[in-house]
Amino acid sequence: MSSTPNMTLDEEIAAAVAIVRVGLDRLRDAATRTEALGPHVAVLRALRDHRNPDAGVCAAVADVIGTITVSITETDHEAIDDVVELLNEAQAYAQDNTGERIDRALTLLAPLLNSEESR
């Protein structure tokens, strides 16, 4: 991917981070503007949808880490194997470990959500 014209790398990264933060703020606001569980569950599913674990925010973060990991393996340095191992673990935590915990939370919330909807 090419750089954004007229932006330094630092500016491009700062802009991308700002966009991500705005999106995350919107998700948080959508979930918490009410005490109802439905919006909370919907946002948790946007973070990690057990029906499609490769979609959602956790998967997107994991994908970025994975892409960087693959790209960085081209670097010829003695520490690169350790770096790759750490990044592989970070990728797994971002998608699998975090995702599995969200899945378990959603499973526990399901009866509460059903109870709330039947009122």
| Sequence ranges of the domains in the chain | 34-117
What are the residues whose beta carbons fall under 8 Å from the beta carbon of 92, sequence distance 6 or more?
62
Q: Residue 82 half-sphere exposure, CB side, CA atoms within 13 Å?
A: 3
pLDDT at 27: 98
Mean pLDDT of 56-72: 96
pLDDT > 70? residue 2: no
Position 89 scores a pLDDT of 96
pTM: 0.85
The Cα–Cα gap between 22 and 27 comes to 9
Mean pLDDT within 27-41: 96
d(CA 72, CA 65): 10
pLDDT at residue 1 in the model: 54
CB count in 10 Å sphere of residue 111? 9
pLDDT tens-place string over residues 74-89: 888 999 999 999 999 9
- The amino acid at residue 107 is T
